[in-house]
Structure 1
Amino acid sequence: MSENFAELPPELSRTLVKRGFQSLTPVQSAVMAQASGDADLRISSQTGSGKTVAVGIAIARALLAEGPRQGKPFGRAPSVILLTPTRELAAQVQRELEWLLAEIPDASVDVVTGGTSLGLERKRLANGPRVIVGTPGRLLDHLSAGAFDGSKTTTVVLDEADQMLDMGFRDELEGILEKIPHRLRTHLVSATFSGEVERMASKYQSNPLRIEGTPLGQANQDIEHIAHVVDMRHRFDALVNILLLAAAKPEEEIGRTLVFTRTRADTLEVAEKLVREGIRAEPMSGDLPQAQRTRTLKAFRTGQITTIVATDVAARGLDVQGVSLVVHYDPPSDADTMTHRSGRTGRAGQKGTSVLLLPPQARRRIERLLNDAKIKATFGPVPAPSKIIKAYQKLGRRRVYAALEAELQKQVAPEQIATPGDDSEEFVQKLLADRSPELVIKALLSLLEVAPPCPPREVVQALEHHGHHPRDRDRGRPPRSGFRPDRPPRPFHGEPRPKGPAPDRGRPGPSRSSPFAAPRPSSGGFGGPRRRDDRPPHPDAPPRAKIHAQRSAPGIKFHKGRDRG
């Protein structure tokens, strides 16, 4: 048993050692060091700091203190209910708790979420799981229908509480808490705590113990933040260049990328455009069926796809190993969203990069947002095509060096040189018989060249706008105010204006008084309407003489535009 886990119960210590843990993160150590296991906890720590395991430690201590439940398994009430905002996060938390509570007696874990069969979930709940993880709406449905008994539940955990309130789950959360009146502990977990969460916590928690793994609002130092100011019409081209540069690595080093958009429709549109460019991408949003979302996450974890285009809600709390890049295709709306988005990378001590794409007119707002989130971002240009091509050339040369290194290893081990049917030496001599070594090497290098899935784009550097957006007709023109060489200096107040001929302002073309000026057309000028008398008469119209006779008849008045009798 590791000395770092000496204060933990033996069941948890053995599990953590088997899982490969060498030490606990600050938030996990803080939960482990709490004096009493019956206190309400308000856990806050930056994303990727191990809050789920920290909550699991608190749950495990409570279950060990209560001991196994008595009675038949059928219809037994759960001891712990844990709520999450999304289905994917619920499934992820269930997997984490299953291995963490594996050696604790009577600690089965089940999950209930929307988008799945209600009847199958009720059958599983009838087996009496000790811990139930679920989304608020579905769990309240089961609780109201009597699928399980909440009267004996002692612990309720609200994971990502601020996101659940933002998604409009306040009524469901309050309904669940009201139906579990005898709970002993109510834990709230989040990377950020808004004012609304604080008010709800004050209503349902008593004397909570605040646990901060990192100071509230402190940015993750393992994440590098980069910002590119790009016009909206060049935003997709900028995204393509960023993804191409991220993929210019050896296959074993290629990380995964999360691209955040504002709406669900944008996830589909951006993902489809990326696929057309040869980039393996899939959308992730609440509009997709649960089965498709599950398949997408599985393909993302196994490396079948390298990019997911998601909304804030769909990707909230997801913990996928190897996410090295987060791209904010649409800028975040506030500092909390920025924190949660960026926290999908740089987890568990790994390094990550967060890239912001913002229009010029939003720069000041984003700078204030970054300041509120205590994030220092580096503003710079989008990766240029030359940089991307150079990165792929280096990748090809790395493969050459790796192949040469492998050949040297074969020479060190003579038993690997000769293999049945190996005529490589004969083929080499044949290639060099009537060709120079330089020509042969050049031809082989061309075969090893690595090309990006699509050509990199030329992205025009956005102009820095201050104040209002300039009109298109003013682009490239000198400012309207300033020195006018054709205008005499203005006199001071009280001085007479200088008399003299008006300055020549360079009017184009000759004046109307000039003998070379063209006569003004009688039809109304350039493109103007012709006069009434010049219009051709309608073929069915009466003669003009008859019209004049009608107008001069007594008792008839004509008005302009319409005959009103």
Structure 2
Amino acid sequence: MYKIFMNTLTSFSQLLLSNDLLKNLETVGYTTPTPIQSELIPKIFQGQDVLGIAQTGTGKTAAYALPLIDLINNSRRRANMPSCLILVPTRELAEQVTESFKKYGHQYHIRTATLIGGMAQKNQLKSLASGPDVIIATPGRFLDFYEKGKILLANIKFLVIDEADRMLDMGFLADMHQINKLLPKQKQALFLSATMVPSIQKCAEEILTNPTVVKIKPAEKTNQKINQCFIKIEGDALKSDSLKRQMLRNLIVVKKITQAIIFCNRKVDVDVLEKSMRHHGYKVYGFHGDVHQSKRLEYLEAFKKGEVNFLIASDIAARGIDIDGLPHVINYDFPKSSDEYVHRIGRTGRAGVAGQAWTFITAKEQEKGRRVLPDTLNFIDMSLPADQNKESSKANKNRLTAQPEEEVVGFGHSIPKFMQIKIPKSLTE
């Protein structure tokens, strides 16, 4: 039996959080809880199992991290025995959750261990040996360490399954059930998802005990804080990748876009677009599943610091990316599903801050995305041949001989022709 609760509170001070946490929230500029936070936090403090349904970008991570920080801090900690396990589908989301615990609860000295694939196990084993209070993990890596006898679970009081719908999409259902069976029966469980479909409900029923349902309905098709604009792909641009890349450069220059995540549907397209934009003088990184995790974290940090202006990303790699105040998202390729469209543009316009989404779209894609697109599309004209980026292109022509930035020992400034890098003509356009 599900209990549905909705009674939105309007101030963090009403949510039973400790004074230290309230001060931290004020320091980082958070004054008003989002709907999911105002509804979920009191339920967690009351010890209830919760099924939370809310879209990405609504503040779900803080909705469970804040009360758990207080609850863990006030509980009796036991050496080398974590009290909280948080399961997430991707490495990027694991890093985001870890960062949230550090940001909100730094003065409590709550120790975390982040267990994710694609990273060296040495540091993760070290964090486990230090006696973490919270384990944040992807299911596969968690089970790997557990089977090696590296994790003690007898003291687990809290289980969080975040982005459960994504977990199911990625085939983690069996792992979730296996992990749940390893945990003490007496625990509080939180099950968070962007959608409420039968498979999610069935999975939640098997893990949760008499849960409260907290469901946040989107006010409209998509976040109204996000201004959505569209660039029509038609005519020659339908057949020419180089013309489409030129339209992207026009957009960046004309609209003065200085920071954005640019989405492509395929890894190969991420690589091609990255090389092309680098050639035209842009500071970019490609961001997809074949890029090593340590590099992805390095690229993400550089992007946050403004050292690079653009991340060109695939959908899976970008899942869980959380950049405060990200001003722009660009759908260079129209997403394969309506849900991915909502997820992509949800990287901007987060927590009540306005954002801008730009989408390249064909007539067929417009029909395909009708369920989530605005009723009236705001088209902007980026038609060719008016490439506003000619100056940048001209300045970068000198790079076609690809002379190294540093002198090559033994050759001075005269580089043999066979050592010069040749850039395919198709990527210079």
Q: TM-score range by the shorter chain?
A: 0.7 to 0.9
Aligned mate of 2:92, from 85, 88, 92: 88
Are 1:454 and 2:389 an aligned pair? no
CA positional deviation for 1:57: 2.3
Task: State the partner residue of 2:382.
Answer: 383
Aligned partners of 1:156 and 1:187 also within 8 Å: yes
Q: What does 1:176-187 align with in structure 2 at a 5 Å threshold?
A: 176-187=179-190
CA positional deviation for 1:94: 0.4
Supply the AA of the counterpart residue of 2:77.
R
Distance 2:287 2:182 in 1: 33
CA positional deviation for 1:225: 1.9
Are 1:14 and 2:23 an aligned pair? yes
CA positional deviation for 1:214: 4.4
Distance 2:220 2:162 in 1: 18
Q: What does 1:226-305 align with in structure 2 at a 5 Å threshold?
A: 226-231=229-234, 232-234=238-240, 236-248=242-254, 254-305=257-308
Distance 1:3 1:193 in 2: 28
Q: Could you report, residue by residue, the CA deviation over 1:147-203 in whole angstroms, capped at 9, with x for unpaired residues?
A: 111122121111111112212222222221121143512212233344322221122
Distance 2:356 2:198 in 1: 29
Are 1:361 and 2:364 an aligned pair? yes
Cα RMSD (Å): 2.7
Task: State the partner residue of 2:397.
Answer: none
Task: State the partner residue of 1:221.
Answer: 224
Supply the AA of the counterpart residue of 2:261.
L
Aligned partners of 1:125 and 1:148 also within 8 Å: yes
Aligned mate of 2:130, from 120, 127, 130: 127
Aligned partners of 2:11 and 2:33 also within 8 Å: no
Q: What does 1:374-523 align with in structure 2 at a 5 Å threshold?
A: 375-376=374-375, 378-384=377-383, 389=388, 453-454=392-393
Task: State the partner residue of 1:430.
Answer: none
Q: Could you report, residue by residue, the CA deviation over 1:420-472 in whole angstroms, capped at 9, with x for unpaired residues?
A: xxxxxxxxxxxxxxxxxxxxxxxxxxxxxxx75238xxxxxxxxxxxxxxxxx
Give the greater-gyration-radius structure (CA).
1
CA positional deviation for 1:118: 1.6
Residue 249 to residue 230, structure 1, CA distance change in 2 (3 Å): closer
Aligned partners of 1:40 and 1:187 also within 8 Å: yes
Aligned partners of 2:113 and 2:124 also within 8 Å: no
SS at match of 2:106: coil
Aligned mate of 2:349, from 331, 346, 349: 346
Residue 188 to residue 175, structure 1, CA distance change in 2 (3 Å): same
CA positional deviation for 1:260: 1.5
Task: State the partner residue of 2:401.
Answer: none
Distance 1:3 1:453 in 2: 48
Supply the AA of the counterpart residue of 2:153.
G
Supply the AA of the counterpart residue of 2:295.
Q
Distance 1:35 1:194 in 2: 23
Identify which range, 45-54 or 284-293, moves more after superposition. 45-54
Residue 359 to residue 17, structure 1, CA distance change in 2 (3 Å): closer
SS at match of 1:34: helix
Distance 2:102 2:250 in 1: 38
SS at match of 1:94: helix
Aligned partners of 2:274 and 2:286 also within 8 Å: yes
Q: Could you report, residue by residue, the CA deviation over 1:311-354 in whole angstroms, capped at 9, with x for unpaired residues?
A: 11110121113422222222222222111111011112222222
Q: What does 1:514-533 align with in structure 2 at a 5 Å threshold?
A: none
Are 1:102 and 2:110 an aligned pair? no
Aligned partners of 1:12 and 1:103 also within 8 Å: no
Task: State the partner residue of 2:317.
Answer: 314
Aligned partners of 2:160 and 2:190 also within 8 Å: yes
Aligned partners of 1:107 and 1:129 also within 8 Å: yes
Residue 143 to residue 218, structure 1, CA distance change in 2 (3 Å): farther
CA positional deviation for 1:223: 0.9
Supply the AA of the counterpart residue of 1:454.
S
Q: What does 1:186-225 align with in structure 2 at a 5 Å threshold?
A: 186-215=189-218, 218-225=221-228
SS at match of 1:314: helix
Aligned residues: 381
Aligned partners of 2:265 and 2:336 also within 8 Å: no
SS at match of 1:211: strand
Aligned partners of 1:31 and 1:57 also within 8 Å: no
Supply the AA of the counterpart residue of 1:14.
K
Task: State the partner residue of 2:38.
Answer: 29
Supply the AA of the counterpart residue of 1:220.
N
Distance 2:363 2:215 in 1: 37
SS at match of 1:323: coil
Aligned partners of 1:49 and 1:348 also within 8 Å: yes
Distance 1:377 1:317 in 2: 29
Aligned partners of 2:82 and 2:133 also within 8 Å: yes
CA positional deviation for 1:377: 5.2
Q: Could you report, residue by residue, the CA deviation over 1:500-537 in whole angstroms, capped at 9, with x for unpaired residues?
A: xxxxxxxxxxxxxxxxxxxxxxxxxxxxxxxxxxxxxx
Task: State the partner residue of 2:76.
Answer: 68
CA positional deviation for 1:238: 3.5
Task: State the partner residue of 1:559.
Answer: none
SS at match of 2:281: coil
Distance 1:162 1:238 in 2: 33
Aligned partners of 1:326 and 1:353 also within 8 Å: yes
Supply the AA of the counterpart residue of 1:99.
K
CA positional deviation for 1:61: 4.4
Supply the AA of the counterpart residue of 2:161.
L
Distance 2:376 2:71 in 1: 42
Residue 77 to residue 216, structure 1, CA distance change in 2 (3 Å): farther
Are 1:117 and 2:117 an aligned pair? no
Aligned partners of 2:229 and 2:380 also within 8 Å: no
Task: State the partner residue of 1:493.
Answer: none
Task: State the partner residue of 1:79.
Answer: 83
Aligned mate of 1:154, from 154, 157, 180: 157
Supply the AA of the counterpart residue of 2:61.
T
